[in-house]
Amino acid sequence: MDDKDALVAALMKKLTREKRARELAEKQLEQYSLDIYNTNTELQSSLLKAERNQTELKFLNDISSEISSDTSINELFNKTLSLISTFMESKYGYYIHVLDGEKKLSGQIAPPDCDGSHASALYRQLSSFLDIDVKNVSHRWLINVFEHEEFPDIHWLLSTAVSIKENEALWLVVPYHQDILDEEYLYVLDTARAQLKTGLNRRINEAKILTRNRVLQETIANLESARKQLIQSEKMASLGQLAAGVAHEINNPIGFIQSNLQTLKEYTKDLHTYSDKIGSAIAENTADDGFHQSLKKKLDIDYIFDDVGDLIDSNLQGIERVSEIVLGLKTFTHGGNEKEFISVKINEVIEQSLKIAWNSIKYDYTLNNELTELPAIQGNPGQLQQVFINLFVNAIQAMPEGGTLSITEERLSNAFIINVTDTGMGMDEKTLNQLFTPFYTTKPVGEGTGLGLSISYAILEAHNVEVNVRSEVDKGTTFSLKFLLDSGA
Amino acid sequence: MKGVVFVQFADFIEENFGLLFWDQVLEVVDPPSGGAYTTVGTYPDEEFLSLLSHICEVKQLDSGDAQVMFGRWLFEKLHAIAPPGNKAQGDPFAFLRRVQDVIHVEVKKLNQDAILPEFRFISETDTCMTMEYISPRHLNRFCEGLILGLGDYMSQPLEVVHKQSILNGDPASIFDVIKKG
């Protein structure tokens, strides 16, 4: 019986323990439920936050895409305004251009059902409400409480501006409809604003670079035209130097042509006398062979007939000589279009150049022209002639005591070289270094322009011709011009 | 220590020594929980150790042997409540590895505060696995019991040889688990 009682008592206690354990377990369960509920709530809020972050990221990403696109400043601001209005779930948005205190509405967002008058009325209200000006540009978004009976659904005005110049700024104004404005939105908007500013600066810089490029291109065009003028002036200056020599050169044939003509005039008189006397003798019937022979001998008619042919030949040669010189001068002075390259026989160019410079050469100098027939090249004959005349004249001027001007050639597989060598005073290193410098001259003031060789160099460069100069003081100078055969110049 | 161990321990004592004995044990030891254990609760280790030590004293049992007995009995109970996919099948050594690599990891996910033993496997042949048992509780013999219970469940008699034990002043606790027969 005692055992039974003890067992019952133990069972009762076990029951109490079990009850207690169940209560504890239930409590624990409730705690678990609460924990789960809390966890769920947290999860939901995290999800909402994640969704919002996603929206914010998408918004910033869209802004970035706009910033990095090639749209104009106006398009950029209109697009950004539209993105911000969508992001802030605003029905309105305004993009205002401020220049010298003048406000101009450059873009606006309005609800699709709005006839425009409502949006315009709101613009009037907010533009008197906000201090939209170039002075009032902050680096953040400005937030103003907005209360107006006509627009009961607008509680805030968000505005920001970026400066373009001291007197010019662009404003964005977005009305906000919610009662409470979350601070986080402002961080996102500030980021968007910073991006917008970067995009604007980039566009302004690009515009500046474009302007600079245009100015540079104009400068280049001006320089090009100045260069052309310079070449022409130099040509004229060289021509001036040559004029005296050329005049002499032309004078010579003209002199002997004149003298020949004088002689021919005398001969004509004699021939007239001869004819008259024979006519009279025939009329008087006194003409016989004796008379005729004696008259011929007296008037030297046989000699006249011989000499007339020689004189006419000599005159024709003289005239030929003059017209050759004139032709050479014409080629030389012809401005032409330097870009127009034609097939040029360099031997002919050198012949023409020698003719023009011949007067200077023929008395005191020996010409040693060893050129054989060279292949044709592409080039401008007038310009090349200018180069060779310049080289020949320089060579002669380097040999005031007389000497030898040699023109020789070297053949390479893809090029040929023409060497113009004088036996003159040569040049020191200083002069050599400055040889192609514009306006550098060793000649007395008033004689050289200092442009000859620099222009020659420019011409040769345009022809893809390599120039090499070797010089030794008191020995002479050699200019080597290397013409490439496949230059295509 | 998780409540499930206490609940099962109460059942084990009742099953082996009767309800009256368990009632008396609680009466004498008077644990803070009052013996009202639930599987969802967690109770101090000391409560388990004082209950165990009192029982050994009354029944004149070696504490280590008692731990082996309880562990061996407990394995099947714990195994029954283990989620599907974590059941013991195939090789017992493979299951031991699975306890360390999968089951303990899963338990930790559900109960971040759970104190779990760590197994480090030193070597393994077809019949012998040498492993280190690392636990701040140092329930080496209880672990032995659970391993023997695993052998019972898989019908593969196992023997656990304690080659080293922190409880004996060794630097680590190292077991040889040997397949018998």
B170 part of a folded domain: yes
Calculate how close chain B gets to A23, using CA atoms only, in Å.
9
A25 interaction partners in chain B (CB closer than 8 Å): 38-41
Model pLDDT for residues B12-30, shown as the tens digit of each residue: 999 999 999 999 999 999 9
Asked which of A119-128, A453-462, B43-52 is least confident by mean pLDDT, the reply is A453-462
A22 interaction partners in chain B (CB closer than 8 Å): 38
B149 part of a folded domain: yes
Clarify whether residues B96 and B149 are in a common domain.
yes
A344 pLDDT higher than 50:
yes
B85 part of a folded domain: no
Of the residues B6, B25, B40, the best mutation for testing chain A's interface (the one with the most A CB atoms within 10 Å of its CB) is: B40
Model pLDDT for residues A169-192, shown as the tens digit of each residue: 999 999 999 999 888 899 999 999
Clarify whether residues B96 and B57 are in a common domain.
no
Model pLDDT for residues A259-317, shown as the tens digit of each residue: 889 999 999 999 999 999 999 999 988 888 888 898 889 888 999 988 898 889 888 88
Read off the pLDDT band of A238 (50, 70, 90). Answer: low
ipTM of the complex: 0.81
Given A10, A13, A21, which is nearest B38 (Cβ)?
A21
B70 part of a folded domain: no
What order of strands is seen across the sheet that includes strand A168-176? A102-109, A93-99, A168-176, A156-165, A142-145
Cα nearest neighbour of B23 on chain A? A10
CATH number of the domain to which B100 belongs: 3.90.1520.10
- DSSP-derived 3-state class of residue B102: helix
Residues B36, A21: C-beta atoms closer than 8 Å: yes
Structural domain span for residue B113: 90-179
Given A9, A10, A24, which is nearest B38 (Cβ)?
A24
Residues B23, A21: C-beta atoms closer than 8 Å: no
Q: For A334-339, what is the mean pLDDT?
A: 54
Clarify whether residues B106 and B162 are in a common domain.
yes
Q: What is the pLDDT of residue A353?
A: 85
B74 part of a folded domain: no
Q: How much is the mean pLDDT over chain A?
A: 85
Q: For A356-383, what is the mean pLDDT?
A: 83
Q: What are phi and psi of A426, to 5 degrees?
A: 70, 180
Clarify whether residues B172 and B97 are in a common domain.
yes
B154 pLDDT higher than 90:
yes
Cβ atoms within 10 A of the Cβ of B56, count? 16
Q: Mean pLDDT highest for which of A327-341, A391-405, B27-41, B101-115?
A: B27-41
Clarify whether residues B170 and B112 are in a common domain.
yes
Say how many domains are in chain B: 2
B69 part of a folded domain: no
B37 interaction partners in chain A (CB closer than 8 Å): 21
% chain A with pLDDT above 90: 38
Calculate how close chain B gets to A40, using CA atoms only, in Å.
17
Read off the pLDDT band of A488 (50, 70, 90). Answer: very low
Clarify whether residues B154 and B102 are in a common domain.
yes
A7 interaction partners in chain B (CB closer than 8 Å): 19-20
Model pLDDT for residues A39-85, shown as the tens digit of each residue: 999 999 999 999 999 999 999 999 999 988 888 899 999 999 999 99
